[in-house]
A and B are shown apart, each in its own frame.
Chain A
Amino acid sequence: MADMKVDELGVSVARGPSLMTGAVPTKDWQEVPAVFKPGNYCYPAKASMVEYHSKSLPGLFGEPREWDVESDDWKLPENWKEIIINGMKERLDKFRSFKIFMDCCVRCGACADKCHFFLGTGDPKNMPVLRAELLRSVYRNDFTKAGKILGKFAGAREMTFGVLKEWFMYFYQCTECRRCSVFCPYGIDTAEITMMARELLHLVGVGTNWILEPAANSNRTGNHLGLQPHTFKENAEYMLDDIEEVTGVRLKNLNFNRKGAEVLFVIPSADVFADPGIYTFMGYIMMFEHIGLDYTISTYASEGGNFGSFTNNELMKKLNGKMYAEAKRLGVKWILGGECGHMWRVLHQYMDTMNGPADFLEVPKSPITGTVFENAASTKMVHISEFTADLIRHGKLKLDPSRNDNRIVTFHDSCNPSRGMGMLEEPRYILKHVCNNFHEMPENTIRESTFCCGSGTGLNTGEIMELRMRGGLPRANAVKYVKDKHGVNMLSCVCAIDRATLLALMQYWNPNVGVCGISELVGNALIMDGEKERDQDLRFETLPGMEGDADV
């Protein structure tokens, strides 16, 4: 847990010496070195993990070695600067976004106070513009005439170990949430810049274990948790018992790796593993049973989340490729995806380009409503919220929203589905049909302006808990607002990383606010065929009106 207590941390956010509070640092930002202390950095990748990835993607992850972030010897290869500069050149030639974003920032500052890490830490280098300048200064020095001629006057500086340390610190204090990009007059997207910086860092073997190990697990076992096929299946099947206890209905159609199913359902694997994701999973499969969907879940492609996208393009592509490969092997017609964040950014923006064409699949058509998902005509992948909203619209779900009356719900737009694919209305439509108490958070903190949970992109790790609580502060604050105003006690979302990280965030800043996926609320509200009178929800909490003597 975070070292600091809520009160302490709160005071330090509101009064600590930082740009956020008007306290201007006395030194120019280029003269402030990055200092690593326990708690402000993620642990480096184990040599075994680097070695593992290097086997299939040679040259992209640097030399496998054990190294210490706090030490001044990162055991870098002798020609590390050359590797970085060459890597930068290669990426400038491969990505127009990178080139343009290096050139046309005018430092107007519109992005400065849009970043949750800046708001929570007050550290000036967390202003998106300065985060980008960390890279841009080197770009100017090595790739622009102005930088070569005018040097410091044009904001150029040489690549040094100090710069590398800054990169490691601040590109792992960016969750690629893209909020700054909404406000930038040129659409400069810090996510792109962070992605490039992380690719460069990996080239010289500077990566974090909490990204490379889950990525290795995803590659080998199919999911980032490293659940082997039998465990994955057992975990999922445990939930059938719980569902039966709550509803009196034994689900029959949960199955795995089944050839010839109509739909392959891909989930974020955390949904079969951890609370509260498991309740979301129950919601999914209850709904599928309710509508009689012919689906299967794969243990081989049992992860939607793509930890490769936090390292480089190549690993992202490699991990993503499993979904199509498995859809082809199983001979399904189309793919349905669960509630996950980065999974959907990768699916929406990269999948078809990287691993398509998916010409062995059909344009998704809901077998229940007949709706053809034209917006997924090429990837052949539909988001569970799109699918569910369509079912509700066509009256195909029997729902009793009053079963969620113990929940006063607000909705967190997860960054990637909202700013990466533009899915804002579907979850809200579902919420309005499955619960009676729904309140939006303040306007500048939702939809395209939504705030990150503070721990995405592989930052969901215990060693940086204080940083995470700071980064999540803007989100927590907006929840606190509706908690105080409307008594909100449930924060719903459509992202598995959110379900993991928001839980810790709420426990810290807003105790008594729970976290759930949308599908959990759907599961609660569903009136299943042959069900008993329900007196508990999926969490075994007593339903309103069924309290008897018990207190809620």
Chain B
Amino acid sequence: MKILYPFVAVIGLMLFAFLGVQVGMDSLFGIVIPYLAFLIFIGGFINKVVGWAKSPVPFRIPTTCGQGQSLPWIKQAKIDDPSTTLGVVQRMALEVLLFRSLFRNTQADVYDGPKLRYGSSKYLWLFALMFHYSFAVIVIRHMRLFTDPMPFFVPILEFFDGILQIGAPTLYQSDLVLLGALTLLFLRRIILANVRYISLPADYFPLFLIFAIASTGILMRYFVRVDVINIKQLAVGLASFSPVLADDIGSLFYIHIFLVSTLIAYIPFSKLMHMGGIFMSPTRNLANNSRMVRHINPWNDPSIKPHSYAGYEDDFRDVMAEAGLPLEKELPPEEPVAEEEQGKATETPAE
């Protein structure tokens, strides 16, 4: 069910777009929904990030993944346990660009004994890297459609993406890598017992959705040709807020753009917000300098005070005197007999 529902949902979305265009709702799917989705994305994204930012970071809680700054002759892990902003930037860059934490991943096995063994496990790192980079390349390549003239780096990127020059039109490697990575990530999710067990419908949905987007895109480029001139006209029009809709774009395109609209509108309300969250994660983006520099907690309550020394001495003055411990206030002249209560936790401590 966890897998079926999201699968059916994506098929449903495709059918919805297909049927919608059949009954002539081209402008709804070609113009209104993309704009709406974009608005939802921008608004939702900002709303989410502002929502996060509104909550303070009261305490410095970086996870230290190496030796911290200490005595001058002890070598600090400046990136894994940064004490400066430069170190934090490096740590975040490695995290965001190279998924450093996933690179550390290990897999534990338990076998008779019981014995535990931890092997390096880099495939999630690899699949994730494949997925995210090919996705990024494809998004950038799409700028060809939205810009006129297109930025200089788009053709360069396209050149390298198609450098193997397979087929005509030239096959983009990123298309293949994206589909491959999605398949691997999906297989990982259903084959590994742990990961299958923790997965929610909301984890399969984006996988299917992106798979459908990639497939429709590839179909359009290599198999079922659509009118690229008209698509570019529409895309540039959308980008310049004067969209023009040609008659014969083809329903495959509408399915594609509807799925893309769904994806971008879905981002702010889902786990896909990890793209924003990673930059704000307090265990990663803080310098580990909390003993060096004082940090302020905006809601710190100064009225919370420790049980006072005076109260403590009042409780124990007689036994303290007997034990020869220094006192702030001496015992009254008539000494009460100190009761020997040997180190037992009292049932009802009194403050």
Contact = CB atoms under 8 A, between A and B. Distances in A.
A409 B108 CA distance: 25
A155 B55 CA distance: 24
Contacts of B54: 93
A426 B325 contact: no
A186 B284 contact: yes
A139 B101 CA distance: 26
A235 B342 CA distance: 10
Closest 4 CB pairs of A and B: A422-B68, A104-B277, A422-B64, A230-B323
B197 A421 contact: no
Contact of A106 (B111, B203, B283, B350): B203
A96 B291 contact: no
A503 interface: no
Given A96-B52, A228-B316, A376-B291, A20 B110 contact: yes
A219 B307 contact: yes
A429 B67 CA distance: 13
Contacts of A48: 347-348
Contact of B105 (A110, A187, A220, A448): A110
Contacts of B73: 393
Contact of A349 (B2, B61, B273, B300): B61
B325 A104 contact: no
24 contacts: A21-B110, A24-B196, A48-B347, A104-B273, A107-B200, A119-B116, A181-B63, A187-B284, A189-B63, A217-B345, A220-B350, A228-B341, A230-B320, A232-B343, A273-B343, A322-B307, A348-B291, A349-B59, A354-B297, A377-B292, A378-B291, A421-B68, A422-B69, A424-B67
Interface string A104-133: 111111101110000100101001011001
Interface string A402-430: 00000000000000001111111110010
Interface of A is mostly: helix
A333 interface: no
Given A153-B5, A185-B102, A220 B315 contact: yes
Given A14-B110, A189-B283, A317-B301, 17 more contacts: A14-B112, A14-B114, A52-B351, A57-B304, A100-B277, A104-B276, A106-B274, A154-B202, A181-B283, A189-B63, A217-B345, A219-B351, A221-B312, A317-B304, A371-B71, A374-B292, A422-B69
Contacts of A108: 102, 124, 128, 195
B202 to A, nearest CB: 5
A93 B298 CA distance: 12
B345 A228 contact: no
B110 A97 contact: no
B344 interface: yes
Interface string B91-130: 0000100010110111110111111101000001000100
Nearest to B283: A187
Contact of A19 (B48, B194, B278): B194
A183 B5 CA distance: 30
| B interface bracket (residues with beta carbon within 8 Å of A) | 35 or more
Interface string A512-545: 0000000000000000000000000000000000
A318 B305 contact: yes
B64 A99 contact: no
Contact of A104 (B2, B274, B313): B274
A477 interface: yes
Interface string B42-64: 00000010011111111111011
Contact of B294 (A99, A129, A353, A480): A353
Contacts of A112: 194-195, 198
B55 A375 contact: no
A13 B118 contact: no
A422 B105 contact: no
A187 B71 contact: no
A150 to B, nearest CB: 8
Interface residues of A, number: 145
B74 interface: yes
A356 B305 CA distance: 12
A426 B74 contact: yes
Contacts of B81: 422
Contacts of A419: 63-65
Contact of B277 (A103, A325, A357, A442): A103
Contacts of A25: 197
Contacts of A97: 57, 61, 281-283
B241 to A, nearest CB: 28
B247 interface: no
Interface in B1-39: 2, 5-6
A396 interface: no
Nearest to A475: B116
B335 interface: no
A103 B297 CA distance: 23
Given A185-B101, A186-B277, A444-B106, A107 B309 contact: no
A104 B278 contact: yes
B296 interface: yes
A474 interface: yes
Contacts of B299: 94
Nearest to A273: B343
A13 B115 CA distance: 9
Contacts of B270: 146, 154
Contacts of B195: 107-109, 112
Contact of A155 (B69, B200, B306): B200
Nearest to B282: A97
A114 B294 CA distance: 32
A41 to B, nearest CB: 21
A95 interface: yes
Given A19-B193, A95-B58, A104-B271, A110 B102 contact: yes
A422 B198 contact: no
A444 B107 CA distance: 10
A222 B110 CA distance: 43
Interface stretch (A254-262, A459-467, A490-498): A254-262
A127 B65 contact: no
Contacts of A155: 200-202
Given A103-B48, A183-B101, A477-B114, A353 B288 contact: no
Given A314-B304, A318-B305, A349-B61, A107 B118 contact: no
Contacts of A229: 316, 319-320, 323, 325
B291 A381 contact: yes
